Structure 1
């Protein structure tokens, strides 16, 4: 009975959750009858019992389950009990299963899901579609957001949809009266973490955008970041770009580079883009000069804040 069991899969957790929430809305179910389980936290027996139980007031009940692959660690009796449920699901319950990747159809559990569930792959989003998605996300709550604000939000969240969603709540609360999200609001409320700041600072440094380089540096110092820590992080980013250029030369694609560095696709996109736009020799020169500066600071030849500031101004 495919219409009683839905399975959605996607490696982008935010889009997966977003799709499931939209699906739940279609059923117009009372919030009391929407239950969410995670097999990493909840015993499978308890979930199975809830699946077989009639909902409150005999209405339709929606149960969402995550990490169903954990069932494969259970004994054969438990797995068979679940397969029996898939074969004959409770007509009062709509079961929605969320997974990052499909279970192989060669496994007993995977084969049962392929046979009895309606399976849908949630398509990941192209980078060009991010701005419109964000605008529509705010539009659902009767808010508007300017193009500059969208760009600033994407830059500061590093295209992380979970983080975008969290920051959106702050922005809507801030703009409650006007219902318009501006770039000024994003800059004021959405802070970059150190890694993102260093990423932007390094990019500005390599592209010789002195104004932006110093602006980010002063902002970090104002937030009590240690200049020596900033320097070490810049060195790390320069090394990462050199490493990326070598991988590109070996024929690595963006997805392979993301896997190599264990980073998100959006982060890998900018890493590849920046690596291809800068000369390897220029990166080596920066690395040598930064290493000398690090030595001069640690040997007491120059103050760490002044030394890094002079380097950034003269680079």
Structure 2
């Protein structure tokens, strides 16, 4: 777990080589900052910190830097981004890498250098000798998307760092409004904690009052109002988005994307897939699948099929200019309401 490595770094238990891979960029960035800020003083960063893109620079050149003594300091930090030779990706490389040179370095790493590989890939090619060697010698961490329970713990921990508590109802609402994006969650929890400093606990009232809603979240809420047969509230959300200069064609696209997700989740659930399996199959976060499953259960198969046809017709009308774009979405919402009433 990445947080376990963070604890070790904060305690100055520093390894000579790290391998961080995965698709959760927030965890990647947090680890980068923690390593640099823990190991190097501010005045050392200019001289003793280097970063290389291994899609542009050979591993030999980067290792030459790693084996060069630090300037005016005891340690240096070298970041190596995009080690494509650890994956099975079939793309033409701009540079050739002498991985035997890296294997030799791993057997005897420079004692004054912290070498960190950042591989923004969902998985590494475990069949490759280089992958096995690196995992053998490096502290390896997978920066993967957090599960729902991990997101809950993350939010609670972030609140505690800011000196406040957050109750479960507030966490649920926050995740519904913001989604699983850690960049946004961190920003919102920090903001909520600032306002809750006198109350000591973040509650649903504070979340409802302060948390920003993305366009995607507004679309989710709009569809939820359709699910609840509250057309007036769905239209109010749409009119507010138009006033905020959101393009009707973009709004329609997001509505279509959400209904497509509902259709996929409903169909795959019927086939016996669990939410985690569905998330992996259609490549969305499990939390989105959970929310979609709740909405999809309110529609019959026939309703969802009819809605998909309406959305296709609305898309055609908008792209051919046969009707005012804003009116296309408005009429679509009326049709959705009429169809499910």
Normalized against structure 2, the TM-score is what? 0.69
Judging changes above 3 Å, is the alpha-carbon distance between structure 1 residues 39 and 189 closer, same or farther for their aligned structure 2 residues?
farther
Name which of 67, 78, 90 aligns with 2:82. Answer: 67
Q: Distance in 2 between matches of 1:282 and 1:7?
A: 48
Offset at residue 47 of structure 1 (A): 2.2
Alpha-carbon shift at residue 113 of structure 1 (Å): 1.1
- Match in the other structure for 2:20: 8
Cα RMSD, aligned residues only: 4.2
Distance 1:238 1:123 in 2: 27
Are 2:296 and 1:275 aligned?
A: yes
Contact 1:39 1:70 (C-alpha < 8 Å) held by counterparts: no
Q: Within 1, Cα distance between the matches of 2:312 and 2:76?
A: 62
Matches within 5 A, 1:167-246: 167=188, 171=191, 175=195, 184=206, 188=210, 190-193=212-215, 195-210=216-231, 212-227=233-248, 230-231=251-252, 233-246=254-267
- For 1:106, the equivalent position in structure 2 comes to 127
Q: Alpha carbons of 1:90 and 1:135: their partners in 2 closer, same or farther (altered >3 Å)?
A: same
- 1:307 and 2:331 matched: yes
Give, in angstroms, the shift of residue 281 of structure 1: 2.5
The structure-2 alpha-carbon separation of the partners of 1:5 and 1:307, relative to structure 1 and needing over 3 Å to count, comes to: closer
TM-score between the two structures when normalised by the length of structure 1: 0.74
2:154 is the alignment partner of 1:130: no
Unpaired runs of at least 5, structure 2: 1-13, 88-92
SS in 2 for 1:56: coil
**Is this contact kept in 1: 2:164–2:193, CA < 8 A?**
no
Q: 2:112 aligns with which of 92, 101, 117?
A: 92
Cα pair distance change 1:9/1:54, threshold 3 Å: same
Q: Deviations over 1:13-62 (max 9, x none)?
A: 3334445655666x553242454444245553442222112123241223
1:144 Cα deviation from its structure 2 partner: 5.6
* Residue pair 1:105, 1:114 contacting (<8 A) in 2 also: no
- Structure 1 segments unaligned to the other structure (5+ residues): none
For residue 185 of structure 1, report the CA deviation from its aligned partner: 6.7
Which of 62, 65, 69 is the equivalent residue of 1:50?
Answer: 65
The CA distance in 2 between the partners of 1:124 and 1:219, in whole Å, is 32
Q: Cα offset for 1:86?
A: 1.1
Cα deviation per residue 1:163-202 (whole Å; 9 max; x = unaligned)? 3235556x37974986976755775562312x33222211
**Does the C-alpha gap of structure 1 residues 89 and 216 become closer, same or farther in structure 2, counting only changes over 3 Å?**
same
- Alignment check: 8 A CA contact 1:214 1:312 kept: no
Q: 1:284 aligns with which of 305, 314, 318?
A: 305
Q: Residues of 2 paired with 1:40 and 1:213: CA distance?
A: 47
| Alignment pair present for 1:249 and 2:231 | no
Q: Distance in 2 between matches of 1:124 and 1:137?
A: 17
* Aligned-pair CA distance for 1:280: 1.4
**Alignment partner of 1:265 is 2:276:** no
What CA distance in whole angstroms lies between the structure 1 residues aligned with 2:310 and 2:26?
Answer: 41
